[in-house]
Amino acid sequence: MQMLLSLLDATIRLSTPLLLACLAGMYSERSGVFDIGLEGKMLAAAFAAGAIAAVTGSAWLGLLAALAVSIMTALLQGAAAISLKGNQLIAGVAINMLAAGLTTFLGQQWFRQGGRTPQLSGDGRFGTINLPFAQEAAGVPIIGPIYSELISGHYILVYVAFLAVPITAYVLYRTRFGLRLRAVGENPKAVDTAGISVVKLRYQAVLITGLLCGFAGAYFSIAQGSGFGNNMTAGKGFIALAALIFAKWKPVPAMFTCLLFGFLDALQIRLQGASFGGIEIPVQAIQALPYVLTVVLLAGFIGKAVGPKAGGVPYTKER
């Protein structure tokens, strides 16, 4: 029971940035903006959070910096893809390359630690939150350990991520904004004909994407980690994009898909150093397990996934 709870607890922690990035991509892609730049926005936000938290000693200021940098990065990508009507795929790749190079360069210039930020401690990073009566409930069979160890004791950004799921579902399917957002991703010409600005809606979606990527990036460096490290997002943005496709652009399936990928990641950590039949499996093979299974799941179990019809296509208003 304790081993299972430990594995599930790690699953929740590891799936949090995936979930935030997946929901971020959902907003932009639902509006018709294909976003392969999730990785770059998270990486830029992680560096901003780690750097500002190291200088000020405040995790909250680090979080604000992460949100600001991620939103600015998203607006830069939005300007290229929406206003300038550039290729959305290339714009996303450019953001990824810019973030990877710039964070390493600035980290080296500012802190002289090989691109890393100083180690964070105390108020410089978020601590875990113990929910009410968690300690008292720990002795209750089954329910107690689940509440005290699995539900309680996480960082505040974990609760933000899972709270964002019902909020996203409500916004997309129960609000006028969500209806228009989904419509502009399917038929922007019809939305434009109704007198609604396609450009404005897409920029609003890009802003929300930047906000959620900011939370995801901050989680890496000032919650789960204790400072920024080179390429610390390690391809999580691409896994989040795969999870978004696997979930067919729906919030609740996206949550369960991210939990699945988080479980695979937690499992590979525990399998490192394991041996089967007296043969020790190389660590690199175990570490590649989540990525290999991501490809297998997408190739063999997803079936046909049809995204928003206007996704990836710049909109040009007809005169």
Average pLDDT value for the chain? 88
Whole-number pLDDT of residue 115: 83
The whole-angstrom separation of Cα 296 and Cα 252 is 21
Q: Encoding tokens for residue 214?
A: 């900011």
Label residue 265 by pLDDT band (50, 70, 90): confident
pLDDT per position as a tens digit, 224-246: 989 998 889 988 999 999 889 88
DSSP of 116-140, one letter per residue?
PPPPP-GGGSPPPBPPTTHHHHTTS
pLDDT per position as a tens digit, 90-149: 999 999 999 999 999 999 999 888 888 999 988 999 999 988 877 887 778 888 888 888
The fraction of the chain above a pLDDT of 90, given in percent, is 56
Asked whether 51 and 237 are in contact (CB, 8 A), the reply is no
Please count the CA atoms within 13 angstroms of the CA of 106 that sit on its side-chain side.
Answer: 15
Whole-number pLDDT of residue 182: 93
Asked whether 162 and 19 are in contact (CB, 8 A), the reply is yes
Whole-number pLDDT of residue 143: 85
Does residue 311 surpass a pLDDT of 60?
A: yes
